[in-house]
Structure 1
Amino acid sequence: MKLLSPENKGKIADILIKLLADEHILYLKTRNAHWNVEGPDFQTIHVYFESLYNELQIVIDDVAEKIRQKDVYAPATMKEYMQLAHLSEERKTENKDSLSFIADLLHDHEVIIDFLSEAVVEIEAFHDISTSDFLVGLLEQHQKTAWMLRSHLR
């Protein structure tokens, strides 16, 4: 097994840092949905959103630790995240019903899915099997969540 060069570790860390920023933005948007959703399905959706942000909390920690494994410090401020993220903290609508929040969160999961799909291919070129495998696991997790969110909208 060939060790990664410091340059390649840095390139991989850059990808992971962008992912960390996106995951943080998604986490905050999911917390917002949990706190502010209204409607006849409040209790069910409130609990569902809580399960989603709890999952994201673990993802965020795992991504940050993966960055540190590349000998790079993980960014930890909202200012940095906003500069690095593909996602925006803004919502598409100000409606507080579950379907509006679900549509927003679905969009963001799909953005992360696209990013992860490209990142896996890019990282495989560096022959970093463990990071590639880690990202494939996250990709599957986001795909499953997107499917569940999409199912709510049908």
Structure 2
Amino acid sequence: MEKDVKVDIGVKDDARKKLVETLNMRLSDEYVLYTKTRNYHWNVIGPRFSQLHKFFEEQYEILDEMVDEIAERTRQLGGKSLGTLEEFARHSSISEQPGQYPDPQTMISNLLKDHETIIKTLRKNADEADEQYDDMATNDFFLEAVQKHEKMAWMLRAHLEGKDVL
């Protein structure tokens, strides 16, 4: 039988529980975005196949690390991390398009939109972690995630800018 050990890190129990819920929603978003990016990596076609195949791989590898970091932060706060595809789909604000294989420009636009959605949500979560739950560490954690997503969004945006659009 598993014994729960009290988590005494200076964050109130009710705040930790709320933060765990929030982290699990972000974990779900990240996992769905990871899967979507990997799907595009597998299914991209066209004259820039090689470049985009490698680009999507670089992005999903970053997302894979972020998934692990969020799950571990959830555990650090004494919570359990979601871990099934059904849970991720149920708790994610990112939508998938099963059975659809968009052109490369649409793939990039879809991913950019998803990153921007996550960025806005993470900013709100960071404010809540600091102001409502008095958890500077989780606030910092969310802000680092914002920076990673902003960089990935910038790279996606760069593929859509200029005359040489896909």
**Same fold? TM cut 0.5:** yes
Matched, 1:150 2:157: yes
Letter of the structure 1 residue corresponding to residue 56 of structure 2: F
Distance 2:97 2:79 in 1: 29
Cα distance per residue 1:65-111 (max 9 Å; x no partner): 000011111010111111111111227x642x321110110011011
Matched, 1:99 2:105: yes
**Counterpart position of 1:118:** 124
Higher mean displacement: 106-115 or 2-11: 2-11
Say if 2:43 and 2:101, in contact at 8 Å, map to a contact too: no
SS at match of 2:16: helix
State which structure, 1 or 2, has the greater radius of gyration over its C-alpha atoms.
2
SS at match of 1:89: coil
Q: 2:35 aligns with which of 14, 28, 31?
A: 28
Matched, 1:132 2:132: no
Q: CA deviation at 1:121?
A: 0.6
Cα distance per residue 1:3-61 (max 9 Å; x no partner): 11111100111110100000000000000010000000000110010010111110000
Letter of the structure 2 residue corresponding to residue 104 of structure 1: N
TM-score (norm 2): 0.87
**Counterpart position of 1:61:** 68
SS at match of 2:79: coil
**Counterpart position of 1:78:** 85
Q: Structure 1 stretches of 5 or more lacking a match?
A: none
Say if 2:37 and 2:56, in contact at 8 Å, map to a contact too: yes
Letter of the structure 2 residue corresponding to residue 135 of structure 1: F
Letter of the structure 2 residue corresponding to residue 111 of structure 1: T
Say if 2:105 and 2:160, in contact at 8 Å, map to a contact too: yes
Letter of the structure 1 residue corresponding to residue 142 of structure 2: L
